[in-house]
Chain A
Amino acid sequence: QVQLVESGGGVVQPGGSLRLSCVASGLTFTRAGMHWVRQAPGKGLQWVAFIRSDGSDQYYTDSVKGRFTISRDDSKNTLYLQMNSLRPEDTALYYCAKDKGTITFDYWGQGALVTVSS
């Protein structure tokens, strides 16, 4: 079965950096587009970033463009999210999710909590 396990969350000061990882198993990772989706405490879902299966293209929501970078290491079945210049409004549970047909998300991890606070 598909399993996605995030790690790397924590508490960071505003302006700081953090890198999230998501290790995938039970799927052919090289064929999977992958996303990051976040959920602020008590709030709804917000898509953050998408990387195609071959890594050729990356897409971001406007509020993180220029600050966050999505990448992948297919040799390690691992997805990354490098987050720089973090702001308090980036505080959220960050989920990695497998792409389904470029239109939605069919498998999700359990999330990594990022708290941006001084």
Chain B
Amino acid sequence: IVLTQSPGTLSLSPGEKATLSCRASQSVSSSYLAWFQQKAGQAPRLLIYESSIRATGIPDRFSGSGSGTDFTLTISRLEAEDFAVYYCQQYGSSPLYSFGQGTKLEIK
């Protein structure tokens, strides 16, 4: 399964709403879709798993949704620390785990 994220780069201002898309080449179980945040020079951090469940310590401004081939990560009100690269990830099909190519969220 190939995951395609859009847009490649998203330019927004603090306080705005961000909507990031992840499209799969085949249907993905909603239980098997996760989202990660990666800041420059840091390891990825798990944000969302099973499409919509926030990981431990993740603020409620982050939310995930979707099913089938279309999934979305929404950040309701951007804060300065949210500007980073975001990856979606799926489990279950060869390769066993795969990631999207990433969306860079930058300050406008």
Chain A residues within CB distance 8 Å of chain B: 35, 37, 44-47, 50, 59, 61-62, 95, 100-106, 108-111
Contacts and interface: CB of A to CB of B under 8 A. Distances in A.
Given A44-B100, A47-B95, A50-B96, A109 B32 contact: no
Interface in B70-108: 87, 89, 91-92, 94-102
Contacts, number: 61
Residue of A47, A100, A103, A111 ringed by the most chain B CB atoms within 10 A: A103
Contact of A103 (B34, B55, B87): B34
A62 B96 CA distance: 10
Contacts of A62: 94-95
Interface residues of B, number: 27
A32 to B, nearest CB: 15
Given A47-B95, A47-B99, A103-B32, A108 B49 contact: no
B89 to A, nearest CB: 6
Closest 9 CB pairs of A and B: A47-B97, A108-B43, A104-B34, A103-B91, A45-B99, A61-B95, A104-B49, A106-B46, A44-B102
B96 A59 contact: yes
Nearest to B89: A104
Nearest to B29: A103
B37 to A, nearest CB: 11
B32 A105 contact: no
B91 to A, nearest CB: 4
